[in-house]
Amino acid sequence: MMDTAKLEAIFTEDTLTELFGPERTNDFFEALFGDAEEGAYDIRLSYVGYDPGTNTLRFYLDLHERPGCCLACNLTYGLPEVFSRHPIINIKGLVEEIEKKLAGEARCESWKLGTTVQQSRSLHSIPLEIKLQTA
CA angle 15, 16, 21 (to 5 degrees): 105
Provide the pLDDT for residue 69: 87
Residues 21/45, Cβ–Cβ less than 8 Å: no
Low-confidence ranges of the chain (pLDDT < 70): 73-75, 135
- Domain residue limits, the chain: 4-134
pLDDT of residue 91: 97
Instruction: Report the pLDDT value the prediction gives residue 129, as an integer from 0 to 100.
Output: 98
What does the angle CA 55 – CA 102 – CA 47 come to, to the nearest 5 degrees?
A: 65
- Rounded to whole angstroms, the Cα distance separating 33 from 128 reads 25
Q: Phi first, then psi: what are they for 80, rounded to 5°?
A: -55, -40
Which runs of E-coded beta strand occur in 1-135? 41-51, 56-65, 106-113, 117-120, 123-134
pTM of the complete model beyond 0.85: yes
**Per-residue pLDDT at 14:** 97
Give the pLDDT confidence score for residue 73 in this predicted structure.
Answer: 63
